[in-house]
């Protein structure tokens, strides 16, 4: 069995490049938000982004992490069935959490908070739904050694 060193090195470079893009874009986005909308709005953005990351960490623990561990062990038809069931679980989870989040955010103003979080309820729910599914798809592509396509959906 002969290993193509150039192809191997390029495949190792793509996940690293993916992480560089994610980190740099997060940093630059924060700078632009602070610069153009101010510190107070950045605080609201930070709280909203923490909600997105919290939900994504739950999704990672329940769905993505087991997929990344158990998926590569599957063979043949079992692999297709496994990934199909994981995809169904992901869609059910993302839809359920989106509905629950929308209900919570629309009713949170009953506590008379300083900022009206319900004003950003629908955009936040949309971001949560698509961020979860994009992250799931990206991790699925990494598991399947499709590094270039994972980089493209970044």
DSSP 8-state code for residue 110: G
What does the pLDDT read at residue 52? Answer: 92
What CA–CA distances, in Å, run from 16 to 22, 27, 70, 137, 148? Answer: 10, 17, 23, 17, 11
Provide the domain limits for residue 80: 44-152
| Residue 145 falls in which region: left (phi positive, over 0), alpha (psi -120 to 50) or beta | left
137 in any annotated domain: yes
Which of 60, 129, 52, 126 lies closest to 92 in space, CA to CA?
129
10 in any annotated domain: no
13 in any annotated domain: no
30 in any annotated domain: no
What does the pLDDT read at residue 142? Answer: 82
Residues 2, 138 contacting (CB under 8 angstroms): no
37 in any annotated domain: no
17 in any annotated domain: no
Which of 78, 79, 58 lies closest to 136 in space, CA to CA?
58
What's the pLDDT tens digit per position in 6-19? 555 556 676 777 77
Start-to-end C-alpha separation, the chain: 33
128 in any annotated domain: yes
- Tally of domains in the chain: 1
91 in any annotated domain: yes
What's the pLDDT tens digit per position in 101-144? 999 888 876 666 666 677 788 999 999 999 999 989 988 888 88
């Amino acid at each position: 069995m002969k290993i193509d060193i150039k192809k191997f090195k390029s495949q190792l470079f793509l996940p690293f490049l993916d992480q560089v893009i994610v980190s740099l874009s997060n940093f630059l986005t924060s700078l632009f938000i602070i610069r153009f909308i101010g510190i107070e709005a950045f605080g609201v953005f930070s709280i909203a982004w923490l909600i997105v990351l919290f939900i994504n960490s739950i999704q990672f623990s329940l769905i993505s992490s087991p997929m990344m561990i158990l998926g590569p062990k599957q063979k043949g038809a079992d692999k297709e069935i496994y990934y199909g069931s994981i995809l169904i679980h992901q869609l059910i989870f993302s839809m359920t959490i989106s509905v629950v989040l929308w209900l919570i955010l629309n009713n949170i103003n009953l506590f008379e908070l300083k900022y009206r979080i319900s004003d950003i309820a629908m955009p936040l729910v949309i971001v949560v739904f698509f961020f979860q599914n994009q992250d799931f798809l990206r991790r699925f592509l990494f598991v399947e050694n499709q590094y270039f396509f994972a980089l493209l959906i970044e």
